[in-house]
Amino acid sequence: TYTYPKSQELFQRAAKVIPCGIYGHLSPAPLIPADAYPFYASRAEGSKFWDVDGNEFIDYMCAYGPMVLGYNYKPVDDAAARQYAQANCVTSPGPVMVELAEKLTDVVSMADWAFFAKNGNDVTTYATMIARKATGRKKIVLIKGGYHGVAPWTQTYGHHGVMEEDGQHTIRIRWNDFEAFKKVVDENPGDVAGFMATPYHHPTFVDNEMPLPGYWDKVQALCNAKGIVLIVDDIRCGFRLDIRGSHEYFGFKPDLVCFCKAIGNGYPISALVGTEALKNDAAKVFYTGSYWFSGAPMAAALKTINEMEAMDAVKMMTDFGENLKKGLIEVAANHGYDLKVTGHPAMPYLRITDDPTLMLHQDWCAECTKRGAFFSSHHNWFVSTAHTQEDQERTLEIADDAFEAIKKNKE
Ligand code: PMP
């Protein structure tokens, strides 16, 4: 099994000059046990990456979502390179910005306009500002356990650096609890500006949950009736469930949709799209950033969307994810374990139910990673169109060996 001396040495150096060494979602903190995981990658290609110790991994995290067509996917890299060579970060934006907006409004069913930024958090924050501008109201309703970024308004009071006031106008309710939403609307008459949620509930450390039948219909109807802006955070699901936006997968129509991750196959870009009714309000909110007009990531996004459409990327990822799920459940069952897979097959969340403490599951994911299948034990995985039949077969072999290993670990 793999060892990671160079990763660990780099991390020691990093800890001296970078807060946390590696911060945020790439931090080793949630990779349990930490010594089972690589910390630094040196190269990536297709569905795989290699760490600084030369270990090879079939990557089931896809850079936590952005990698959708495979690492170093040539058509996208070429499109970006051409744009870099012509004009990237310049005093005026390039025509590629208009082309990308036209493409997104064409592809995403509810979109009449598109706005570009860099990170998911940029556009979730912008969406709340537009909702407040459009309604003249303060409250934003969110789901408990839902993640929308790192801006103080998205965080919970008690987290370092977050003031009680930052959360003063956000109200968190349980996922799939329409009555709770109705209650919040009744208790805050004329003061709910927006409702923001992911298309389905994909928190960390717990099973992911699809919307109950009728949930989104009821939420949309109440929003429409009360003039509340319905915002979908499609940053993680976007382009993996449905190329037209995940709301199409579930059959409803939001007012604003936030995209990031899969939109540019790893190039830094995010987008907010919206309906005609909110276009003037969006225009009134002052919102911008140093790199938000950079052309190369836009050229990459344009190519990524065209490629995803042409190859029916959603179907490829769904089929791969479906087969992988079946295969892994079977391997687990052969060893006497119950592996539960929730969420959409293109971004499955896995859990071995035999041990509710998650220790066994963490142990299995660690043993898989040490053998070359990078598995997070607490976060939903991602698949890409670059994952192959061969990857799947190798993954199932690794999973099988890892089950043997966890039995030995227990002895
Ligand atoms: N919303 C969701 C659902 C996310 O998964 C993420 C990123 N993990 C964000 C928002 C924030 O995006 P970013 O980290 O690019 O700001």
- Crossing angle of the two packed helices 313-334 and 389-410, in degrees rounded to 10: 30
| CA 147 – ligand 1 centroid, Å | 7
Contact 113, 101 (CB under 8 A): yes
Ligand 1, atom 10, residue with closest C-alpha: 148
Q: What is the pLDDT of residue 99?
A: 98
Nearest one of 358, 350, 352, 344 to 403, comparing CA atoms: 352
Where are the chain's structural domains? 5-60+313-410, 74-311
pLDDT for residue 404 is more than 90: yes
Identify the sign of the CA torsion 171, 172, 175, 178. Answer: negative
Counting ligand 1 atoms within 8 A of each CB, the residue from 23, 121, 269 with the most, and so the one to mutate, is: 121
pLDDT for residue 30 is more than 90: no
Sequence-ordered list of residues with C-beta below 8 angstroms from that of 373, at least 6 positions apart, any chain: 57, 58, 60, 394, 395, 398, 399
Mean of pLDDT values over 365-391 = 98
Counting ligand 1 atoms within 8 A of each CB, the residue from 260, 263, 347, 382 with the most, and so the one to mutate, is: 260
| CA 111 – ligand 1 centroid, Å | 20
CB count within 10 Å of CB 167 equals 19
| CA 142 – ligand 1 centroid, Å | 14
| CA 148 – ligand 1 centroid, Å | 5
Mean of pLDDT values over 60-83 = 98
Q: How many CA atoms lie within 13 A of 240 on its CB side?
A: 35
Model pLDDT for residues 84-98, shown as the tens digit of each residue: 999 999 999 999 999
| CA 67 – ligand 1 centroid, Å | 14
Counting ligand 1 atoms within 8 A of each CB, the residue from 68, 126, 147 with the most, and so the one to mutate, is: 147
Sequence-ordered list of residues with C-beta below 8 angstroms from that of 390, at least 6 positions apart, any chain: none
In whole angstroms, what is the distance from residue 148 CA to residue 142 CA?
9
Percentage of the residues of the chain whose pLDDT score is greater than 70:
100
In whole angstroms, what is the distance from residue 215 CA to residue 231 CA?
15
Ligand 1, atom 12, residue with closest C-alpha: 120
Domain 74-311 coded CATH 2.40.110.10: no
Phi-psi region of 52 (alpha: psi -120 to 50; beta: other; left: phi over 0): alpha
Model pLDDT for residues 187-230, shown as the tens digit of each residue: 999 999 999 999 999 999 999 999 999 999 999 999 999 999 99
| Closest ligand 1 atom number to CA of residue 270 | 15
Q: What is the pLDDT of residue 410?
A: 80
| CA 197 – ligand 1 centroid, Å | 12
| Closest ligand 1 atom number to CA of residue 119 | 15
Q: What is the pLDDT of residue 74?
A: 98
CA 372 from centre of chain: 23
Task: Supply φ then ψ for residue 365, to 5 degrees.
Answer: -60, -40
Nearest one of 206, 86, 190 to 146, comparing CA atoms: 206
| CA 257 – ligand 1 centroid, Å | 13
Phi-psi region of 19 (alpha: psi -120 to 50; beta: other; left: phi over 0): beta
- Crossing angle of the two packed helices 359-369 and 389-410, in degrees rounded to 10: 130
| CA 124 – ligand 1 centroid, Å | 9
Sequence-ordered list of residues with C-beta below 8 angstroms from that of 348, at least 6 positions apart, any chain: 321, 324, 325, 341, 342, 380, 381, 383
Q: What pTM did the predictor assign?
A: 0.97
Model pLDDT for residues 299-338, shown as the tens digit of each residue: 999 999 999 999 999 999 999 999 999 999 999 999 999 9
Residue 411 banded pLDDT, cuts 50, 70, 90: confident
- What lines the ligand 1 site, CB under 6 Å? 119-121, 124, 147-149, 198, 233, 235-236, 260
β pairing state of 48-51 and 270-274: unpaired
Mean of pLDDT values over 126-155 = 97
| Closest ligand 1 atom number to CA of residue 149 | 11
| CA 261 – ligand 1 centroid, Å | 8
CATH architecture of the domain with range 5-60+313-410: Alpha-Beta Complex (3.90)
Helices (H) then strands (E): counts for the chain: 12, 13
Percentage of the residues of the chain whose pLDDT score is greater than 90:
96
